[in-house]
Amino acid sequence: MATGIPVKKANSRFGRKGLWGTLWFQRELLLMSIPLVIYKFIFSYVPLRGWVMAFQNFRPAAATQQWVGLKNFTDLFSDTVTGEAFRNSLVNTLGQSILTMALGYICAIGLSLLLNELRHVGLKRVIQNIVYMPHFLSWIIVAGLVSVSLSSDGGIINEVLLKLHIVQEPIRFLGEAGYFWGIVAGSHLWKELGWNTIIYMAAMTAIDGTLYEAASIDGANRYHKMWHITLPCIRPTIVILMMMSLGYLLESGFELQLLLGNKGVVKSTAENLDLFVYNYGIGSQRYSLATTAGMFKTLVSIFLVSSANFIAGKLGEEKLM
């Protein structure tokens, strides 16, 4: 049926169909993406040639490098000192990342649902601006705020706990290793919670309003609408974001761990893979071992994303590619 609305067609010298016709039809988008492609190529793909150090006993001043094959890989996993430090950093990375992701996803989706239910536009915008602001702070500033807030000597968290009689004496949050994973997860939550709601809020605006009207006629309340309409409609977005997040499962951060975990008392739970690479690559000048650890992290991330993408396709969910 003709609607009278003009439709742009891929009329070009490459034809209406096929790869070249599609590329020509989307040439404006491709031109816009060129700077990003160049940036990613220079800073993400060119440095991969440094992976060759993982198979060498690399010395910066040496004219020729000694090839050692897979020795660095065996040392990374089986050496008494290095292997134990690497395994500990791997456990810390997974613990911090999983806790951060779980807390971040649950709270971001929950906040998005609550914001979506607000009918007062002015109040909604004020709340959004407040929760978005921490995202624009650098981790240096965040680490300073966290250190001051969690201080056992006049920190606001301890002051509140003491006033409410929840504790009898100040808690040494930054002086006990058992609290560090929670500190990392809580800091990420405070900084990124508002920012993480943007995509969910955008997905909610695309939901057909007639679904809510039909549910209201059937007697559904707001809770029923959220559970049976909003959440199922944004499920593809949730799945896509989870698959993308799996690629960062071994990326639990660097600045916060470096700035707050430099004390010996919390090093056992603070040192993650990035700190391991930093300490061994720069601190101990074992560049080959640090490169091996970084290479391992990248390969595991690729495997996780590919596996999640495959499983999502088998379950009938949206895929990344």
Query: Is 65 among the domain residues?
Result: no
Per-residue pLDDT, 305: 86
Q: What is the CATH classification number for the domain harbouring 199? A: 1.10.3720.10
Classify residue 54: in a domain, yes or no. no
| Cβ atoms 292, 72 nearer than 8 A | yes
CA–CA separation, 93 and 307 (whole Å): 20
How many Cβ atoms are within 10 Å of 196's Cβ, its own excluded? 21
Q: What pLDDT, on a 0 to 100 scale, did the predictor assign at position 16?
A: 53
Structural domain harbouring 269: 76-314
Q: Does residue 62 sit within a domain?
A: no
Residue 70, in any domain of the structure: no
pLDDT on residue 154? 83
pTM over 0.75: yes
Asked whether residue 217 is domain-assigned, the answer is yes
* The two three-digit tokens of residue 241, written as one number: 């974001």
What pLDDT does residue 204 have?
92
pLDDT less than 50: residues of the chain:
1-15
CA distance 169 to 208: 53
CA-wise closest residue to 241 among 56, 49, 108: 108
Quote the number of domains for the chain: 1
Question: Quick check: is 190 in a domain?
Answer: yes
Is 319 a member of any domain?
Answer: no
